Amino acid sequence: MKLFIKKPKRRRYILWGLSLFFLLSAFFTASFSYYLYSEIKDRFSSRRWSVPARVFSSTVPVYRGQAISLGQLRHMLEERRYKEASKEPVLAGEFKSSGNSLVAHLRDFQFPGVFLPSQLVEFDFEQSRIAAIRSPKEEISFLEVEPLEIARLYGSERESRMLINIRQVPQHLIDAVVAIEDHRFYEHSGFDLFGILRAMLADLSAGRVVQGGSTITQQLVKNYFLDSERNLRRKFLEFSMSLILEALYKKDEIMEMYLNEIYMGQRGSVAIHGIGEASAYYLGRNVEDLTLSEAAALAGMIRGPNSYSPLVNRQAALERRNLVLKRMLALRKISLSEYDSARLEILRMAPASTSARIAPYFVDYVRTQAQELYASATLASEGLAIYTTLQPEMAAAAETAIRDGLAEIENVSGDGSGSDEFKPSRRLQAVLIALQPKTGELYALVGGRDYAESSFNRALKGRCQPGSAVEPFIYLTALDRFKLSDWLFDLPVPYELNGVSWTPRNYDGRYRGKVALREAFEQSLNAATVNLAVETGLEAIIGTLRSFGIESPPGHLASLALGSFELTPMELARAYAVLGNDGQKPFLLSLKEIVAENGDVLERRHIDFSSVTSPAKAFLITSLLEGVVERGTAKGLKRLGIDFMCAGCAGTTSELRDSWFVGYTTDLLALVWVGYDDNSPTGLTGAQSAATIWARFMNLVRPWIQPQEFDAPPGVVEEMICPDSGQLATFHCKERKLEDFLSESRPNGYCTIHNR
């Protein structure tokens, strides 16, 4: 009787225990599932990937009649990683040249804030000039070539990723990935038991691991959420999260995540992630432009990016591509003819680009500005697009001009250029700044001869003496009292400065006595210039310099008149830009726009000016600077190929420590400085060093500029004068010449020398 009573109690306890166990198991399972659900939902509903900010140059204009050769255009396309087509038709990202024609299929450029459509364009050339541009539909007079990506602002993980939308992806790429990685992807629910069994059999048969059983969904979970440690816990999490991910998202959404996440190899210290980035890096194509063969090659790399990279092992990459194509044929994703054609296609890589090495000083300047606006974490993860004013062809020309120009200067011997001053323990440095004076846009900025050797940006931070390069601002101030036809005293007049007697001396040691103002300027006569500065007044000249953006002019006459004070090259370039912009001081632009990933403009810098002198006065100084190039200290530029209208000024400091040349056309201003970092003498004048580098640069960028005559603005009149008297010429004058005057200060009398 006792046994009969105990059995029901024992069963009841067991049932209670089992019920409690199942309840607790259900509770923990539900809680765990909800935790995984929340983790996945939160992660994918917020920002999914860290995408570094990309820094772009400006677009490059190409137009009919432009002085650019077929070879130069070809080089531009190769810089942007276009490939030469091996067959017809020419696909997006390819070009083909024949005779005097070049056909390019421009790929579309679609980044936040900028869209350039894909189009097939043919260029015809005559005598190194574009004679015609046409598309299959129409004649084209002007088009823009896509900008260069010049930098990325990485975070600590240094992952590079170009996000794509599933709608961009061609079907043959999806088919290739599915065929080689998970051919039942669109059938299973995140976990493929048949795939696991098949992989186990293949591994047992081969005696080693030859196949993986993970689905695409499991690979995504493993790469995105989990660490690389192999244990039962991780496999359980991978299995659970795969099921939840499949329940939350559609197959195409999962495929898009996968294609953006997968690791696709290394570019130096940078990890390449995603098909979009891999397509651009390895093949120079947008994803939507991939051929079947190229899609198969990229799909084949997923299993082992560094083993099957065509840059590392071309043969292995080809064999892997062919295996993918064979799988696609077996799964009836492609026809036999498509298989044969793709298998025979040559796998051609995009040419290596030097864009990442172009303009490092400029990139540092833009990075500093961006970091003042946004936290480093934002720049490294939010996918911002940063558009700049850099003109990549001009930037490359600036670096070439400095490299080759300094090498030539250092190799010169026995010609009075000061070559005996060069010592192995030090190297000449140079700065080149190029900008559009009408807008203030910086086209090129080189802060030294070798960024790898020294990243110190001398253009922005170097303090140098301007020497005679400051003279235009002294003469401009003097226009309130003097005319270009007036006479100056070119004599070694002693001045007492701070109790010490000081006498200005001309560079050539000669003094002309009485000299025309124009000639004193064109020949850079120190004595005449100092005498002019004394009569003009120290305070007035200091006011001019400050209004032109030179922030720290000196407080005594000797330093002011001879430029023996310090400024940065950027300050001097900005001051000269006023002369090239009708008296308007431009705000110098390097960063134009910062655009969010969704296309919202976060920051926009506008062209801005402030008036600091009249257009008439600015034109008169430009007229004097034209004379410097035509007849004065810079007339040697003609021998260096400068055959177009330009204005310029060479500058040299005392003891030949700093050498300058600043010159401008109607659409480009360029400044060059040459010197040593330790401020020791170079033995070089501005005409011997800086001017030669300036000429090299201007000849290299000739296709991108269209110099015109400097037009006289209202307020300037032209009069025929007698060079001997500086007065209005008569029929009795032996010589006559045209001279420019301010309308309010034209000569008011006729020549008194020849009109007796």
Residue range 417-432, pLDDT digits in tens = 444 444 444 789 999 9
Whether residues 303 and 211 share a domain: the answer is yes
Rg over CA atoms, the chain = 35
Whether residues 192 and 321 share a domain: the answer is yes
Whether residues 519 and 553 share a domain: the answer is yes
Whether residues 447 and 483 share a domain: the answer is no
In a domain, 352, yes or no: no
Q: What is the sign, positive or negative, of the torsion defined by CA atoms of 436, 437, 442, 446? A: positive
In a domain, 601, yes or no: no
- pLDDT confidence band for 557 (50 / 70 / 90): low
In a domain, 8, yes or no: no
Whether residues 167 and 313 share a domain: the answer is yes
Whether residues 586 and 649 share a domain: the answer is yes
In a domain, 365, yes or no: no
- The CATH number linked to 248 is 1.10.3810.10
Share of the chain above pLDDT 90, in %: 54
Strand locations in 475-614, DSSP E?
487-490, 495-497, 500-502, 513-516, 584-586, 591-595, 601-604, 609-611
* 555 vs 379 pLDDT, higher one: 379
Residue 491: CB atoms within 10 A of its CB come to 15
In a domain, 703, yes or no: yes
Q: Which DSSP symbol is given to 54?
A: E
Q: In this predicted structure, which of 144-158, 176-190, 197-211 has the lowest mean pLDDT? A: 197-211
Average pLDDT along the chain? 86
* 137 vs 401 pLDDT, higher one: 401
* For range 78-96, the mean pLDDT: 90
Task: Report residue 272 as tokens.
Answer: 């390449």
* For range 13-33, the mean pLDDT: 60
* 112 vs 703 pLDDT, higher one: 703
| Model pTM above 0.95 | no
Whether residues 575 and 432 share a domain: the answer is yes
Q: Which DSSP symbol is given to 423?
A: -
> Where a domain ends, among 344, 361, 377?
344
Q: Which DSSP symbol is given to 236?
A: H
- The CATH number linked to 519 is 3.40.710.10
- pLDDT confidence band for 103 (50 / 70 / 90): very high
Given a cut of 60, whether residue 30 has pLDDT beyond it is no
Q: How far apart are CA 119 and CA 108, in angstroms?
A: 8
In a domain, 674, yes or no: yes
Residue 19: CB atoms within 10 A of its CB come to 10
Q: How far apart are CA 277 and CA 117, in angstroms?
A: 20
Q: What is the predicted pLDDT for the residue at 423?
A: 46
- Contact partners, residue 320, CB within 8 Å, separation at least 6: 297, 300, 301, 303, 308
Q: Which DSSP symbol is given to 352?
A: P
Given a cut of 90, whether residue 215 has pLDDT beyond it is no
Q: What is the predicted pLDDT for the residue at 413?
A: 38
Which residue type occupies 126? E
> Given strand 53-56, what is the order of strands in its sheet?
149-153, 53-56, 385-388, 591-595, 601-604
In a domain, 382, yes or no: no
Task: Report residue 677 as tokens.
Answer: 């970092």
**63, β-bridge pairs:** 142
Q: What is the predicted pLDDT for the residue at 105?
A: 95
Instruction: Report phi then psi at 673, rounded to 5.
Output: -120, 140
Which of 695, 406, 686, 427 lies closest to 563 in space, CA to CA?
686
Q: How far apart are CA 225 and CA 245, in angstroms?
A: 12
Whether residues 703 and 583 share a domain: the answer is yes
Helix H or strand E segment including 265: strand 263-267
Given a cut of 80, whether residue 254 has pLDDT beyond it is yes
Given a cut of 80, whether residue 27 has pLDDT beyond it is no
What are the pLDDT digits (tens) for 456-511? 999 999 999 998 899 999 999 999 999 999 999 999 888 776 667 778 888 888 88
Q: What is the predicted pLDDT for the residue at 152?
A: 87
Given a cut of 50, whether residue 63 has pLDDT beyond it is yes
- pLDDT confidence band for 637 (50 / 70 / 90): very high
**Number of compact structural domains in the chain:** 5
What are the pLDDT digits (tens) for 662-689? 999 999 999 999 999 998 998 888 888 9
Whether residues 424 and 571 share a domain: the answer is yes
457: domain range? Answer: 387-465+567-590+606-711
What is the four-CA torsion angle of 722, 728, 733, 739, rounded to 10 degrees? Answer: 40
Q: What is the predicted pLDDT for the residue at 416?
A: 37
Whether residues 165 and 274 share a domain: the answer is yes
Q: What is the predicted pLDDT for the residue at 28?
A: 56
> Where a domain ends, among 148, 179, 202?
148
In contact, 548 and 637? CB cutoff 8 Å:
no
* For range 367-380, the mean pLDDT: 90
Given a cut of 60, whether residue 373 has pLDDT beyond it is yes
In a domain, 361, yes or no: no
Q: Which DSSP symbol is given to 464?
A: B
| Catalytic residue positions, numbered | 181, 468
In contact, 532 and 488? CB cutoff 8 Å:
yes
Whether residues 391 and 433 share a domain: the answer is yes
Q: What is the predicted pLDDT for the residue at 478?
A: 95
Which of 170, 610, 621, 682 lies closest to 417 in space, CA to CA?
682
Q: What is the predicted pLDDT for the residue at 414?
A: 37
What are the pLDDT digits (tens) for 111-142? 777 888 999 999 999 998 999 999 998 999 99
Angle, helices 232-248 vs 216-224, to 10°: value is 110
Q: How far apart are CA 690 and CA 651, in angstroms?
A: 9
Cis amide prior to 89 (ω within 30 degrees): yes
* 195 vs 387 pLDDT, higher one: 387
- DSSP reduced 3-state for 717: strand
Whether residues 545 and 580 share a domain: the answer is no
